[in-house]
Amino acid sequence: MHKYLLKRFLLMLPTLFGVALVTFLLIRVIPGDVVELRYSGDRGAVSQELLDRERARIGLDQPVWKQFVTWMGGVLRFDFGTSMWTGAPIWEEIKLRFALSFQLAIMATAVAVLLAIPLGVLAALKQDTWVDYSVRVFSIAGLSMPSFWLGIVLILLLLVVFKWLPPMVYTPFWTSPTQNLAQLIWPALAVGYRYSAIATRMTRSAMLEVLREDYIRTARAKGLMQKLILSRHALKNAMLPVLTVVALEFAFLIGGLVVTEQVFNLNGIGLLFVQAVAQRDYTLLQALIMLVAGAFIVVNFMMDIAYAWLDPRIRYR
Amino acid sequence: MRRPSLLSIALALTVLTAIAWPAAAQDKPRSGGELIFVVPSQPPSYDGHQEETFGLIHPLAPHYSTLLKVDPFDKTGTKPVGDLAESWTISKDGVTYTFKIRKGVKFHDGSDLTSKDIKATYDRIVNPPPDVKSLRKAAYAAVQSIDTPDSHTVVFKLKWPESSFLLNLASPWNFVYKADILAKDQKWYEKNVMGTGPFTFVEHVKGSHWVGKKNPHYWDKGKPYLDGYRAIFISSSSAQVAAVRGERAHIQFRGFTPADRESLVSALGPKITVQESAWDCALMVAMHHEKKPFDDKRVRRALSLALDRHAASKTISKIAIVRDVAGIQVPGTPWATPPDELEKLAGYGRDINKSRAEARRLLKEAGVPDGFAFTFKNRGIPQPYEPLGIWLIDQWRQIGLNVKQEVVEASAYHPMLKRGDFETAMDFQCGFIVEPDLDLGRFLSNSDANYGRHKDTVIDDLYVRQARATDPEERKKLLRQLEKRLLDDEVHVMYTLQWHRIIPHSSKVKGWTITPSHYLNNQLDTVWLAE
Amino acid sequence: MALNPPLDQAVEIEVPAAGGGWTQAVREFCRARPLGAIGAGIIVVMLVVAVAAPLLAPYDPVVNDFASMLAAPSAAHWLGTDAFGRDVLSRLIYGSRTALLVGFGASVLGATLGAVLGVASAYFGGRVDLYLQRVMDVFLSFPLIILALALVAILGNSIPNLILAIMIPMIPRSALVIRSSALAIREMPYVDAARAAGFGHGRIILRHMLPNVMASYLIMLTAFLGQAILLESSLSFLGLGVQEPIAAWGLMLRGAAVEFAEAAPWMAVFPGLAISLSVFAFNLFGDSLRDALDPRLKTQ
C-alpha cells in the first residue's frame, strides 16, 4: 500500500510541472500585453519609452525560458509573485475570491448530491417505467441548458416575479449567515441542478448493477424491507463511482464557474480568471490555473487512494 | 472666464429628448444617507497620475481635490471652475497663469494645504521622477516652470500660449497630493489614499467594493451632503442593470444602453430619473492607407458616402449607445460644427440615394469591381462596437461591397491596430475632457495612434495652429478646416455616430448633472439623497 | 471500472443489427428505449432543417431591416425579429448549420483522435503508455472552457479554429475512456494470436482493436456532441466564437438579446430553447445508447 501511495504521489509531480509549463507558454502566445493594456487605455496615446520601461520593471523583457525559471523558483517556495496588474501579492488577490468560490462549490455539490442520490436510486428501482423516464428527462434537461442562459433567466425571474435581487456584495458566512446565503443560494441551486445530472446517471447505473448481484437477490428473497436493503447493502457498494464523479465535479467547480459568477456578480475565482485573461495578468493567470488544475489533480489522487484502499487488486496492477 | 455659450447649452438641451433633469435648483439639499453606485471597472492602483481607467476615478475622486475642476453643473463639460484655486489670472501674452490657493484647506490627516503641495503634485505630473509613470505628461509639454511666490500662490509659466491649458489643469486625474509624503516616497500614493476631498477613505475590498465617509473638515462648509458612499464593482452589464433595478444601487456613473433605460423606466416608473448627453467617445473607421484599394481616396470617400448616418441616428440609437451625427467634436459643445454645416461633408448629406449613387460611381472610377470583398476588424465588446459593426457591413453591402467581419478579442485589439494588421478596422477614442487638442492629436502624421497611417502635413500644420490660437473664433475656423480636410477632402478616417451617454438613476439621487465624459464630475460634493 | 464494459457482449449487439437489417434494429431500439428514440427524432429533424435551410428560411438571415426592428412574433415573422430587424426564425434555421457543423466536426475529430491515442497507449503499454498518460493528465486538469478560451484567443475565431479549440480538450477525455476499454481487449487471445502470426502493429490496432472499442467510442461521441454544441454556443456568447453577421445560436443570445430580455423576450427565449433542445436530444440519445450498449444495465 505504501509503495503504491508513493508511486501515485510521484506521478502527480510531472503532471503539475506539465500544467505549469503549458500554462506559462500558452498565455504568452495570446496576443496583447499587460503593460500596453493598462497604460494606453481608450486613447492609445502612451509613449513607447514608458511601455518599455514598465515591461523591464516587471521582467517581461527577459527571455521566456529565464522568466519560467524565475517563476518556477518562486513556485517551489510557494511564492507566486505579485500581480502584474495591481502589484499586490498573488495570495492577497486570490484569498477572498477563493473563500467565496470554495463555499459556492460546497453548496452546489451539496445540492447536486441531494438531488442525484434519491433520484438515481428511484430511477434504478423503477427502471424503464415513467418514473425512470421523468427522472432522466429532468436531469438531462439541466445538463442541456447553457449555464449563462439559465442564470440570466433565473435573475430575471427573481426581479420580475419577486421584485427582489440577491445581495450584490459577498458577506462571509460568519459575519452574517442570512446575507451570505441570500446571495449564494441561487447560483448554488442553478449550478447544483446542472451538475446533478452526471451523478444521477452514475447512481442509477451503479444501483442497477448492484441490484443484480446475488446477495441482494437473496436478501430480497428473504423478504427484508426494501428500504433496509438499499441503505445497508446496495447504496454502500454503489457509492464509490458516484463519489468519484462528485469529487471531480467539486474540484472543477472551484475554478470553473466562469459564466455563472459573471451573471450573479460573484467575486470569485472564475470572475477573477476572466479579469486576469482580459488584463493579460500573466502571474495571476499562472497562479489561478495552477490552483484549479492542482485542485483537480489532488482530488484525482485522493480518489485513486480511496479505490486502492477499498479494492486491494488495484495496488498490484 | 468663458466660452460655453448659453446658445450651445440651449442647443444641447433641445436636442435631448425624454429627459427629466434632477431639480437641483428648486429643492433644498438634504444631508445624510449613503450613496451606493456601481462601477463597471476597478482601480489597478490608487494613484490617479499613473492610471488610465474610470474605474479609478469613480471610487477615488471623492477623496481628492484638484487645482481646477470642470463645473459640476455644466452639461457641456467644458467650463473650468476653481477647486483648490480660489481665483486666477492669465497674462496678456497668454503664457503666465497665476493661481490664488484657497486658505484653510486641510488634508485628511489634519495638516494644512499650501501652494507647496500644488507644486509638488504638478512637478510629479509634468516632470515625473524615473519610477513614476505620468500618463498625461504630453499635455503639459508647454510648461516651462512652476513657482510658489508665497504659501498660497502658484504661478505656471508656459513656453508658448496654449488654449487648452486651463482645461488641462481641471483634469480629473490630477489629484493634489501632499508634498511631504511625495518627498519621502513617490510611490506612497499607489497604495494609500490621503487627500483634501469631501470624503475620507474607509475600506477597499478587492473585486467587491469601496467605501468612503464624509470628511467633517472639508473646506466647503456644509458640504458634502452625503454621510458616505459605497462603490460596488460589477463587471457584467446585465448584473449592473439588475443592481439598479433591484434597488441595491442608486446609480452607475458610466452609462447604460437604450434597452436598459427602457427596462428600468418601465419597471420602476417615477423611481427612475434619466439623464442623457452626447458622450465624448467616438467610433471611427480606420482605413489602412498602405493597402490597396484604401490608398485611393475615392474608395475611402465611397465608404463614407455609403453610410446613412441620419437614418441610423434614429434607428441604431434604439439598440446601441450612439445617437448624434457628429464630426470631430462632441455635438452641442463649443467647438462642434453646427449640424447644417456638417451636412456638407461627404456622407453627412440628407439624400442617401444620391450619396450612394455617388459612392458607386467613385468605386467604379477607382476600378473597384462590384461585389469587392474585404475584411472589417472590430473590437469584441458588445456596446457599441458590435451593433455598429453589423450596421456598417449592411451599409457597405448596399453599395455593392461584400464585407466580412472579424471580431478581435478586446485585449488583443490595440496591438493589432498598432501592427497595422487590417484593411479597415474600428478605431475608437474617449476623452476625459471635451477639448480638441486631446481628441485630435492622434491624427498627426507621426502619432502612435494614427492607425490608418496617413501622412498629411496640412493636418499637422492646422493642428498646431489651432492649438496655439488664443482667439476662439480663429480657433473655430482652423478646426473647421481641419475637419473638412480629415473627413471630406482626404477622408483619412470616417466617424460613425457620436456615443450617447444614458444614465438612468434612482430619483433619490439629486445634485448630480450629466456631462459628456464619464471621467468628469465624480467628486460627489454636490450630490445628495432625497427622502 | 464503470467505464470498462465487457466489450465482446457489446459487439454482439452491434453485429446482428448490421446483418439482420437496419429497420428491425431501429424498431427494436425505439420500442426498448423510447427516450432515445425521441432524442434521435429531434436530431433527424435538426439535420433536415440544417441541410434544407435555404428552402425553409422565410428571410435572408443577414439583411438588416430597420423598419421592423424588435418586432414581436406575428404572421410575417413567426418568432419575431431581432435588434436589426432580422427574422429570428431564419437565423435559428441557419444557426442550426453552425451548431451541427461545429458540433459534429469537433466531436468526431476529438473522439477519433482520442480513440487512436487511447488504443495506441493501451496496445504498446510500458513507456509509451506512461508518457502519453502524463501528457493526457496535463490536458485533463485544465477546465474545458478555459482551454478553449485560450485556444480561440490565440488562433482567432473562424469556424475551423472553433472546431479545433473545442476538439483539443476532448482528445484526452476520449483517450482515457478508450484506453481502459482497450486494455481489456489487449489481453484477449485473438490479439495475442495476431501478434504471434507476425501482423504489424498498425494492422492489429486497426483490424482487431479499434472495432472492439467501438461501443465505448460511440458512447463518447454522443456525449461529446451535446457538449460541443453547448461549448460552441458559450464561446459565441462570450464573443469568442462565430462572427456576426453569420447566424449562430450563442451569438443570437449575445448583447441585445440580454438587454432586451424583458421587452423583447423572443430574442433570448428561442435561441436558448434551440440550444437546450438540441443538446437535450443528443444527451437523451447518448444516454439511451449507453444503456443499450452496456449489457450490465439491461432489463432482465
Q: Is B505 helix (H, G, I), strand (E, B) or coil?
A: strand
Long-range contacts of A44-51 (CB under 8 A, 24+ apart): A44/B414, A44/B417, A44/B418, A44/B429, A44/B442, A44/B448, A44/B449, A45/B138, A45/B441, A45/B442, A45/B447, A45/B448, A45/B449, A46/B52, A46/B135, A46/B448, A47/B138, A47/B448, A48/B448, A50/B133, A50/B135
pLDDT on residue B26: 53
> Considering only alpha carbons, which residue of chain B is nearest residue A269?
B207
Answer whether B45 sits within 8 Å of A164, measured CB to CB.
no
Exposure on the CB side of residue B523, measured as CA atoms within 13 A = 28
Report the sign of the C-alpha dihedral through residues C221, C225, C226, C232, in that order. Answer: positive
Please state, in angstroms and rounded to a whole number, the distance separating the CA atoms of residues A176 and B387.
43
CA distance A172 to chain C (A): 27
Question: Does residue C12 surpass a pLDDT of 50?
Answer: no
Q: Which of B476, B430, B457, B321 is nearest to B385 (CA)?
A: B321
Answer whether B239 sits within 8 Å of A168, measured CB to CB.
yes
pLDDT on residue C15: 38
Question: Does residue C8 surpass a pLDDT of 60?
Answer: no
CA distance C147 to chain B (A): 16
Report the sign of the C-alpha dihedral through residues A28, A33, A38, A42, in that order. Answer: negative
Neighbours of chain C (3+ CB pairs under 8 A): A, B
Band (pLDDT 50/70/90 cuts) for residue C143 is low
Answer whether B190 sits within 8 Å of A87, measured CB to CB.
yes
Q: Which residues of chain C neighbour B322 with C-beta distances below 8 Å?
A: none
Q: Which residues of chain B neighbour A95 with C-beta distances below 8 Å?
A: none
Answer whether C243 sits within 8 Å of B407, measured CB to CB.
yes
A:47-106 residues touching chain B, CB 8 A cutoff: 47-48, 50, 53-54, 85-88, 92-93, 96-97
Give the mean pLDDT per block of 10 residues along chain B (531 residues).
42 40 62 95 93 93 96 91 95 94 95 96 93 87 95 96 92 96 95 96 94 96 95 91 92 95 92 95 94 94 96 93 94 92 94 95 93 92 91 94 88 86 93 88 89 94 92 93 95 95 96 94 94 79
pLDDT on residue B447: 86
Q: Which of A86, A159, A271 sits opposite B242 (nearest CB)?
A: A159
> Considering only alpha carbons, which residue of chain C is nearest residue A155?
C261
Q: Which residues of chain A neighbour B246 with C-beta distances below 8 Å?
A: 159, 163-165
Neighbours of chain B (3+ CB pairs under 8 A): A, C
Answer whether B52 sits within 8 Å of A32, measured CB to CB.
no
CA distance B264 to chain A (A): 11
Question: Does residue C277 surpass a pLDDT of 80?
Answer: yes
Please state, in angstroms and rounded to a whole number, the distance separating the CA atoms of residues A266 and A275.
13
Kindly state the cell numbers that stand for B362.
467613385
> Considering only alpha carbons, which residue of chain B is nearest residue A92?
B206
Band (pLDDT 50/70/90 cuts) for residue C14 is very low
CA distance A152 to chain B (A): 8
Answer whether B319 sits within 8 Å of C84, measured CB to CB.
yes
Mutate to test the interface with C, among B321, B352, B386 (most CBs of C within 10 A): B386
Answer whether B260 sits within 8 Å of C245, measured CB to CB.
no
Q: Which residues of chain A neighbour B187 with C-beta distances below 8 Å?
A: none
**pTM for the whole thing?**
0.88
Task: Report whether B487 contacts B346 (CB < 8 A).
Answer: yes
The answer to whether B87 faces chain A, any CB pair under 8 Å, is: no
Kindly list the residues of chain C whose beta carbon comes within 8 Å of any beta carbon in chain B: 62-64, 66, 69-70, 83-84, 152-153, 156-157, 239-240, 243-245, 254-256, 258-263
Answer whether C156 sits within 8 Å of B406, measured CB to CB.
yes
Distance, CA of A281 to chain centre: 21
Question: Does residue C7 surpass a pLDDT of 50?
Answer: no
CA distance C163 to chain A (A): 18
pLDDT on residue A313: 58
Query: Residue B118, Cβ neighbours under 10 Å: how many?
Result: 28
Please state, in angstroms and rounded to a whole number, the distance separating the CA atoms of residues B63 and B215.
9
CA distance C20 to chain B (A): 51
Task: Report whether B328 contacts B486 (CB < 8 A).
Answer: yes
Q: Which residues of chain C neighbour A141 with C-beta distances below 8 Å?
A: 276, 280
pLDDT on residue C101: 93
The answer to whether B39 faces chain A, any CB pair under 8 Å, is: no
Q: Which of A206, A208, A296 sits opposite C141 (nearest CB)?
A: A296
Per-residue pLDDT of chain A (317 residues; tens, 9 = 90+): 678 888 888 888 888 898 889 888 888 888 888 888 888 766 656 778 888 888 888 888 889 899 999 999 988 888 889 999 988 899 989 988 999 999 999 999 999 999 998 999 899 888 888 999 999 999 999 889 888 888 888 888 888 888 888 888 888 888 888 989 999 999 999 899 988 988 898 888 888 877 776 666 666 666 655 655 655 565 666 677 788 888 888 888 887 788 888 888 889 998 898 888 888 899 998 999 888 888 888 888 888 887 777 766 555 54
Is the bond into B293 cis (omega within 30 degrees of 0)? yes
Residues C96-120, mean pLDDT to the nearest whole number: 92
Q: Which of B42, B45, B44, B39 is nearest to B192 (CA)?
A: B45
> Considering only alpha carbons, which residue of chain C is nearest residue A204?
C297
Answer whether A86 sits within 8 Å of B45, measured CB to CB.
yes
CA distance C29 to chain A (A): 13
Instruction: Give the residue with greater pLDDT, B74 vs C180.
Output: B74
**Beta strand extents in chain A (DSSP E only):** none
Q: What is the mean pLDDT of chain C?
A: 82
Q: Which of C157, C245, C262 sits opposite B263 (nearest CB)?
A: C262
B:121-160 residues touching chain A, CB 8 A cutoff: 133, 135, 138
DSSP string, B429-485: EE-SS--HHHHHGGGSTT-TT-TT----HHHHHHHHHHHH--SHHHHHHHHHHHHHI
Answer whether B315 sits within 8 Å of C69, measured CB to CB.
yes
The answer to whether B410 faces chain A, any CB pair under 8 Å, is: yes
Kindly state the cell numbers that stand for C208.
482487431
CA distance B292 to chain C (A): 24
Q: Which residues of chain A neighbour C297 with C-beta distances below 8 Å?
A: 205, 208-209
Q: What is the ipTM of this complex?
A: 0.87
Size of interface B-C (CB pairs under 8 A): 78
Answer whether B390 sits within 8 Å of C260, measured CB to CB.
no
Largest separation between any pair of C-alpha atoms in chain A: 86
Answer whether C279 sits within 8 Å of A144, measured CB to CB.
yes
Type of residue found at A269? I
Kindly state the cell numbers that stand for B170.
481641471
Q: Which residues of chain C neighbour B409 with C-beta distances below 8 Å?
A: 152-153, 239-240
